């Protein structure tokens, strides 16, 4: 059987995350969204979005990358997500395989700011 290889990253809230007021949190979230949109525009990030579950305090987001784990580790080390650089989130990098042809991704609009998200 053939498999397609992707990399998944999980964004998790750090237990020692800095406390931010709403304006600072919105500004950091806008930087985070712009970062994801740039990665998508480069063809590296196929999909990304928040995780909404019973414990949305720990697991915050999931991203699917069109790159091997080693390349993703290099990218997130050299150009970290602003939320990771600010000490708010941490990332876990995982290889992921699915049967070939099971998934298809299209280039789409990724919001670049909190304002973009709120417009919908």
* Containing structural domain, residue 96: 3-104
| Residue 118 in domain | no
| Residue 95 in domain | yes
DSSP alpha helices (H): ranges in the chain?
22-41, 69-78, 82-85, 114-119
| Residue 43 in domain | yes
Q: What is the CATH number of the domain that holds 74?
A: 3.30.70.1060
Domain count, the chain: 1
Report the C-alpha gap between 60 and 66 in whole angstroms.
20
Cβ atoms of 6 and 65 closer than 8 Å: yes
3-state secondary structure of 59: strand
| Residue 114 in domain | no
With a pLDDT cut of 70, the percent of the chain lying above it is: 98
Per residue in 77-93, pLDDT (tens digit) is 999 999 999 999 999 99
pLDDT at 57 over 90: no
pLDDT at 120 over 90: no
What are 28's two structure tokens? 């950091």
Could you give the count of Cα atoms lying within 13 Å of 11 in the half-sphere of its Cβ?
26
Is residue 55 very low, low, confident or very high in pLDDT (cuts 50, 70, 90)? low
Instruction: Please tell me the predicted confidence (pLDDT) of residue 112.
Output: 97
Q: For the chain, what is the mean pLDDT?
A: 95
| Residue 111 in domain | no
| Residue 70 in domain | yes
Q: Is 94 left (phi over 0), alpha (psi -120 to 50) or beta?
A: beta
Report the C-alpha gap between 81 and 31 in whole angstroms.
8
pLDDT at 8 over 90: yes
Q: What angle do CA 49, 55, 56 make, to 5 degrees?
A: 30
Residues in Cβ contact with 25 at an 8 Å cutoff, skipping those fewer than 6 apart: none
């Amino acid at each position: 059987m053939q498999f397609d290889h992707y990399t998944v990253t999980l964004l998790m809230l750090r237990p020692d995350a800095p406390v931010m007021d709403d304006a600072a949190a919105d500004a950091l979230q806008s930087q985070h969204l712009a970062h994801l949109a740039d990665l998508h525009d480069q063809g590296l990030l196929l999909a990304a979005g928040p995780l909404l579950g019973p414990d949305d305090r720990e697991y915050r987001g999931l991203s699917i990358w069109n790159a091997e784990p080693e390349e993703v580790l290099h990218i997130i080390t050299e150009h970290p997500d602003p939320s990771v650089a600010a000490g708010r989130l941490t990332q876990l990098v995982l290889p992921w395989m699915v049967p070939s042809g099971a998934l298809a991704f299209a280039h789409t609009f990724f919001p670049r700011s909190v304002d973009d998200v709120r417009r919908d």
